Amino acid sequence: EAGVTQSPRYAVLQEGQAVSFWCDPISGHDTLYWYQQPRDQGPQLLVYFRDEAVIDNSQLPSDRFSAVRPKGTNSTLKIQSAKQGDTATYLCASSLIQGAEQFFGPGTRLTVL
């Protein structure tokens, strides 16, 4: 069984540029999570979905970040105008149902210059 896959693995941007991250969860998992992990810190939940519905996006900086999961499978996280403070690894995770064990992808390492 394939695990959670993410692309790209790395991204380097200038401030003000936009970037999108993609996540393909484990097949059949209805819950999908996006985390931000700054260097030498623990991950922080940004948003999570059950199927296509956003359950909690309270920690997502809504002015520049957006996340969608239109068909309840793959998901995209987008940063409209990146800032240096967005430099971090963005992790995607999925679970079979809400509250079950979360399986993490390899992450996308973003550097904003």
Partner 1 sequence: GQQVQQSPASLVLQEGENAELQCNFSSTATRLQWFYQRPGGSLVSLLSNPSGTKHTGRLTSTTVTKERRGSLHISSSQITDSGTYLCAMESGNAGAKLTFGGGTRLTVRP
> Pattern 12-31, binding to partner 1, x per CB under 8 A?
-------------------x
By CB under 8 A, how many residues form the interface with partner 1?
25
Pairing of strands 10-13, 108-112: parallel
Minimum CB–partner distance for residue 99 and partner 1 (Å): 4
Q: Does 49 bind partner 1 (CB under 8 A)?
A: no
Contact 15, 113 (CB under 8 A): yes
The DSSP code for 11 is E
Q: What are the backbone angles phi and psi of residue 52, rounded to the nearest 5°?
A: -95, -5
Per CB under 8 A, contacts with partner 1 among 82-101 are 91, 93, 95, 98-99, 101
Q: Does 43 bind partner 1 (CB under 8 A)?
A: yes
Q: Quickly list DSSP for 13-72.
A: E-TT--EEEEEE--TT--EEEEEEE-TTS--EEEEEEETTEEEE-TTS-TTTEEEE-TTS
> Pattern 54-83, binding to partner 1, x per CB under 8 A?
-xx---------------------------
Footprint of partner 1 (CB under 8 A): 4, 31, 33, 40-45, 48, 55-56, 91, 93, 95, 98-99, 101-107, 109
